[in-house]
Chains A and B, each alone.
Chain A
Amino acid sequence: MNKANKKNTKYFMLSTIKTLHKWLSLLVFIQLFIWLSTGLFFNLMDHDKASGNQYKQNLVSQDIDHQRLFDPKELLLASNTSASEVALIQRLGKPYYLLTHDKGLYKHFDSHFTLVDAYTGLIKKLDIEMASALAQASYNGPGKIANVLLVKPPINDFLKEENNLWQVNFSDELHTSVYINASSGRLIGHSNEDKRFVDFFFMLHFMDYPLFGQGAVGGFNNLQISIFAILTLFFCLTGLIWTLELLIKGRYK
């Protein structure tokens, strides 16, 4: 009696697992095919193209005349500009002090900078001309600058970026956009149609689109993917149990 009962529960469990597997397949199949095909795409894609850096060149630095350097200590003493970091940098071959006021843990985190001419000690506002020139210096493609925009986050090409950027658009066949941090003048990066195409596949793979309120964030911690991941996990585990049952029963012949 007991034995038969045990057998029955075992049979019941297995049939439940099979029913679950069938119904879960209906729930997850579309996303499963999206994961498999986008995964296959990441495997086969051209990783150089995906970087968006076809027309990117390294910025050249010039020798600076250190005798002419202004002492940034005066800046820190004089005004109410306190800084946690002062870096001697170059922009367009000229030396500047980059004063960091608020620095995030990572470069893309919300940060605040002041750019100061290292020879004169005058504050340099990063205007549209300078942003264009900085973008041009990093670009070696055939295009000309089509337009320049000041963009606020969220920025589609760099979703994780939390700072305002200058977006310099070039008129080439790849629609290259060059991004410059609006307060530090640092080159954030290049983006183009090839990169945007790959980004679209990442969006699909990470289910990184607005579904439950929040928009795309350039990551994979969202509610929709969590739900589908758990459903798919059960789908795969029930499949595994089914396969093991077939193996034990000698159905693989």
Chain B
Amino acid sequence: MSLHRSSRKYHKWLMLFIGLQLVVWSVSGTYMVLMDIDYIHGDSLVAKQKKNIAPGQVSYSFKQLLAEHPQASKIELGIMLDKVVYRFNLAKKKVTLSASNGQLISPISKDIAIEIAKHNYADKSIAISSVKLITENTIRELSSRHLPVWRVEFDDFASPSFYISTNSAQLVTKRHDYWRIFDWMFAFHVMDYIDESPDNKLLLIVSILAFIASIFGLILTYYRLAPAQNKRRKGKSGRVKLSKSKPKKTSKAKLEATSE
């Protein structure tokens, strides 16, 4: 069998089995490159926060906090809505305290979570469609390290969800439908549908086969499109149907030429 014929055979057969993954790679790849990554991350949904700490509100000092909670680490003085608060780690958990009196604020209630979500959402005209507390068994779009969280869903284009940590009273993650599609696209791109890790055996095997099939494809490109080869080999390699139709056309053309 000539190289041309065997290449066609192997290209045809290999692509029967892995061609679909090549389509998946190109569809998912195209989606990922065409979608603006900042939009996918939901950055445009978040309102810019420009507020500074009002020093007058701070009556409870770092010193007092450490005296009462000696094990506290990563202490931060920041803002929650219009309040000044402390956030810190205590026994592997985030805690939020009021900076005016040292009172515990976390875990926050549903109403405060809604307020924080609205405060962080750029478009103030959008209503909230549902609020849910997630404490365990996380969902695909949320990392378990953020638990427990309030999931606040907005009644907006692409169904955005804001996740507000109950302990830090902060926006921890934002998701919308195009992110969700992107996530699946990536999973299909790397052929790992659960952990989304690119070092899996399935991807290895399919990539190698795709590489081999593509080399046969390149050989075919050469035979079909290289000008000199094209003329010489067309008759030999062309499909039965093609070679049948070709002489007809030429004889017709010849007839026309002679009749003129």
Contact = CB atoms under 8 A, between A and B. Distances in A.
Given A25-B218, A66-B63, A85 B76 contact: yes
Interface string B141-167: 000000000000000000000000000
A72 interface: yes
Interface stretch (A32-40, A123-131, A137-145): A32-40
Interface in A35-72: 35-37, 39-40, 42-45, 47, 61, 66-67, 69, 71-72
The 7 closest A-B pairs by CB, nearest first: A66-B66, A76-B55, A82-B52, A86-B77, A229-B30, A236-B26, A87-B76
12 contacts: A25-B218, A36-B207, A44-B204, A47-B199, A66-B62, A66-B67, A69-B63, A220-B32, A236-B19, A236-B22, A236-B27, A243-B16
Contact of B211 (A36, A72, A85, A88): A36
A5 interface: no
Nearest to A29: B218
Contacts of A83: 52-53
Contact of A44 (B32, B36, B53, B199): B199
Contact of A82 (B53, B199, B220, B224): B53
B23 A237 contact: yes
Contacts of A72: 62, 77
Contacts of A230: 30
B62 A233 contact: no
Interface residues of B, number: 57
B17 to A, nearest CB: 10
Interface of A: 22-23, 25-26, 29, 32-33, 35-37, 39-40, 42-45, 47, 61, 66-67, 69, 71-73, 76-77, 82-89, 105, 118, 219-222, 225-226, 229-230, 232-233, 235-237, 239-240, 243, 246-247, 251-252
Nearest to B56: A77
Given A66-B63, A84-B53, A229 B199 contact: no
Interface stretch (B43-51, B104-112, B247-255): B43-51
A73 B77 CA distance: 10
B204 A43 contact: yes
A244 B73 CA distance: 62
B37 interface: yes
Nearest to B31: A229
B214 A32 contact: yes
A36 B214 contact: yes
B29 A229 contact: yes
Contacts of A26: 221, 225
A36 B43 contact: no
Contacts of A87: 74-77
Contact of A86 (B26, B76, B200, B218): B76
Interface in B39-92: 43, 46, 49-53, 55, 58, 61-63, 66-67, 70, 73-79
Contacts of B34: 226, 229
Nearest to B20: A240
A83 B77 CA distance: 10
Given A29-B217, A40-B211, A76-B55, 10 more contacts: A26-B225, A72-B62, A84-B51, A87-B74, A105-B43, A105-B46, A221-B35, A236-B27, A237-B26, A247-B16
A76 B46 CA distance: 27
A82 B217 CA distance: 64
B203 interface: yes
Of A32, A45, A225, A251, the most chain B CB neighbours within 10 A belong to A32
A246 B16 CA distance: 10
Given A43-B198, A226-B34, A29 B46 contact: no
A36 B210 contact: yes
B204 A221 contact: no
B198 A71 contact: no
B211 A236 contact: no
B187 to A, nearest CB: 15
B12 interface: yes
A67 B63 CA distance: 6
A232 B210 CA distance: 14
Given A69-B66, A71-B61, A73-B61, A240 B19 contact: yes
A72 B225 CA distance: 74
A67 B62 CA distance: 10
Contacts of A222: 33
B192 to A, nearest CB: 10
